[in-house]
Amino acid sequence: MEFSANQIADLVGGRVEGNPEVKVSNLSKIEEGQPGTLSFLANPQYIPFIYKTNASIVIVNEDFVPEEKLNSTLIKVPDAYQAFARLLEMYNQMQHTRSGIEDQSFVSSSASIGKDCYVGAFTYIGENVKIGDNTKIYPGCFIGDNTQVGKDCLIFSGTKIYADCRIGESVTLHSGVVVGGDGFGFAPNNNSYDKVAQIGNVIIEDHVEVGSNTTIDRATLGSTIIRQGVKLDNLIQIAHNVEIGENTVIAAQTGVAGSTKIGKNCMIGGQVGIIGHLNIGNDVKIAAQSGIGNNIKDGEIVQGSPAFGLREYKKSYVYFRKLAQLAEDIDNLKKQMQSLQQ
């Protein structure tokens, strides 16, 4: 689709300077702007690029006054970054407007599908499943028996949700996410293991986003719970009976072992490992690749494997890098000491 500068100015409440009829069909970064694209300038460091960019339209702050000749039409708004973000969001919403149930899908007769939903081909909807209004389920997904999915969700191709789970409203699950696989529970029996049946479920609350190929295991009993607003990146492992507090954000490839509870508003880096049965407080920050073996109090910032205070870790690491030198110093001191003692 194409939009003219005038149309975009209307959408974002801005004022056109330049050719109001110039049209764009895509977005670009200002430093990579091509003809036919729309860009924005918010950060003053990027001002030099506006004189070189080939973007057809650039959204700028009201107070921007060009000091050289421009190739681009400007749209002036009170906050260029915000206006651009709003456009991005509109553009994005336009991507997911499909509705209807494609012929080659499988929907159990006992399932109920809300209004304006999309169910793609090769998606399987089990018995007694309930799907809320305006939820879009892309091709090749699996929703197990009795699972409920709220309204306004986006479930991308190849997501698998086992039976009996609960997914809230406005939840986004990316391709390859697995929700509700069995927790890793085995009881030793001589030299082999008996499986411990995993009959709980997974509850994902509203406004959660889960990245591609992340796995969230069902609880042994009760529920594994992902609270409202949590954002999980790709390839994360959430074990059985874990609970993750509201608006906590976790980067890619982190793993949380069974029954650990993580508080609200935490920020957890990539490739972190957290062992089972811990309590992680609210507002905790954990540096990437850390290993967490103990409870963490509210507001702490930690690093290391096992992790301790971030500052202390960084200090220790400075000397770790000099460890060969320190060892040589000790050796010298020992020799000097010996000769003094003699």
Q: Which residues are catalytic?
A: 240
Q: Which residues, in sequence order, are bridge partners of residue 292? A: 274
| Long-range contacts from 289-297, C-beta under 8 angstroms, 24+ separation | none
Please give the structure tokens belonging to residue 302. 């930690």
* Residue 20: C-alpha distances to residues 30, 92, 209 (Å): 19, 24, 38
Quote the radius of gyration of the chain (alpha carbons, Å). Answer: 27
Q: Shortest CA distance to 79 belongs to which of 21, 12, 130? A: 12
* Residue 338: C-alpha distances to residues 134, 330, 333, 334 (Å): 81, 12, 8, 6
Q: Which residues of 106-131 are buried (b: 16+ CB within 10 A; e: fewer)?
A: ebeeebebeeebbbbeebbbbeebbb
CB of 67: closest distance to its own copies in angstroms? 26
In the complex with its own copies, which residue's Cβ is closer, 45 or 67? 45
In the complex with its own copies, which residue's Cβ is closer, 160 or 166? 160
Q: Tell me the residue type at 288.
A: A
* Whole-angstrom distance, CA of residue 82 vs CA of residue 11: 13
Q: Omega into 306 within 30° of 0, i.e. cis?
A: yes
In the complex with its own copies, which residue's Cβ is closer, 76 or 264? 264
* Whole-angstrom distance, CA of residue 50 vs CA of residue 35: 13
CB of 68: closest distance to its own copies in angstroms? 24
In the complex with its own copies, which residue's Cβ is closer, 66 or 85? 85
Which residue stretches of 42-108 are H helix? 47-50, 80-95
**Residue pair 209/155 in contact by the 8 Å Cβ criterion:** no
CB of 171: closest distance to its own copies in angstroms? 12
CB of 65: closest distance to its own copies in angstroms? 25
In the complex with its own copies, which residue's Cβ is closer, 64 or 138? 138
CB of 76: closest distance to its own copies in angstroms? 21
In the complex with its own copies, which residue's Cβ is closer, 20 or 276? 276
Among left, alpha and beta (phi > 0; psi -120 to 50; other), residue 7 is alpha
* Whole-angstrom distance, CA of residue 33 vs CA of residue 55: 4
In the complex with its own copies, which residue's Cβ is closer, 62 or 337? 337
Q: Tell me the residue type at 311.
A: R
CB of 307: closest distance to its own copies in angstroms? 11
Structure-token match 């890793």, residue found: 184
CB of 118: closest distance to its own copies in angstroms? 13
